[in-house]
């Protein structure tokens, strides 16, 4: 599975607001960390010196050899896997590449999805910075599965579990928008033909991006044990 890139913003002048929440250590041993990232925290420090605060910046204060194996978007919360040495980093990176690491995400989407489960297969390519787009001619294959957990009213919305089988940039955001049910609070893909501040925009329906990395399953690089890690969804 390719690394999942964190969201880029429309201007290099973007200054991330302060994140007051702490990073929770879910699991720790000599080889790796499993952490719970809060929403509103960069995975890596930005080019702008005012965007120094990040998951990586915080972790290396106590774990100087920590390296991120994947990233989550600025607004996405949830579970992340971190290597504590180069050897472990290499072994876990291979698992990502061989797609033996499985992840699920909890999301709340705009509107009511009729089918209880389904698959979304739309290739994704580069759009106008910072966006990606559906591109049937030259996009890279992207496959997502979803399962409805609950349908809610006033306003109409649907809580789902996503299982991505590829790791394209913004994959779940784009796929959600493409099926007509964008993720609530999404500042980049909030509904086709809508302005971000349109009264029907999914962006206005939540103060944060309603996307949470809920589970991550992998083989421990030392013991070989299959680890099934969970981060409880905060919404």
Residue 131: what are its φ and ψ, rounded to 5°?
A: -90, 155
Instruction: Report whether 171 contacts 142 (CB < 8 A).
Output: yes
- What is the distance between the alpha carbons of residues 43 and 38, in angstroms, rounded to a whole number? 10
34: β partners: 27, 81
Nearest to 80 by CA among 17, 22, 37: 37
Instruction: Report whether 208 contacts 230 (CB < 8 A).
Output: no
Told to judge if 121 belongs to the known catalytic residues of this protein, a careful annotator would answer no
- What is the distance between the alpha carbons of residues 165 and 175, in angstroms, rounded to a whole number? 12
Instruction: Report whether 183 contacts 202 (CB < 8 A).
Output: yes
Q: What count of residues does the chain have? A: 235
Helix ranges, 32-138 (H): 55-62, 86-97
Catalytic residue among 12, 22, 29, 73: 73
Peptide bond into 130 cis (omega under 30): yes
- What is the distance between the alpha carbons of residues 134 and 220, in angstroms, rounded to a whole number? 35
Catalytic residues: 73
């Amino acid at each position: 599975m390719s690394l999942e890139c964190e969201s880029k913003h429309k201007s290099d002048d973007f200054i991330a607001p302060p994140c007051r929440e702490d990073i929770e250590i879910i699991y720790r041993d000599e080889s790796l960390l499993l952490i719970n990232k809060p929403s509103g925290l960069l995975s890596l420090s930005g080019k702008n010196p005012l965007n120094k605060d990040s998951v990586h910046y915080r972790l290396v204060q106590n774990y100087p050899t920590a390296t991120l194996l994947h990233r989550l978007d600025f607004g996405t919360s949830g579970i992340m896997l971190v290597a504590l040495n180069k050897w472990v980093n290499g072994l876990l990176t291979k698992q990502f590449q061989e797609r033996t690491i499985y992840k699920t995400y909890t999301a709340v989407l705009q509107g009511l999805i009729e089918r209880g489960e389904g698959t979304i297969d739309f290739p994704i390519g580069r759009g106008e910075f910072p966006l990606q787009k559906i591109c049937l001619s030259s996009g890279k294959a992207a496959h997502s599965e979803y399962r409805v957990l609950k349908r809610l009213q006033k306003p109409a919305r649907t809580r789902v579990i996503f299982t991505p089988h590829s790791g394209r940039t913004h994959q779940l955001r784009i796929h959600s928008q493409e099926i007509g049910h964008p993720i609530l609070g999404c500042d980049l893909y909030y509904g086709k033909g809508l302005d971000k501040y349109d009264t029907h925009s999914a962006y206005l329906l939540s103060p944060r991006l309603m996307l949470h990395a809920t589970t991550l399953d992998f083989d421990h690089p030392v013991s070989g044990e299959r680890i099934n890690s969970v981060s409880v969804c905060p919404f």
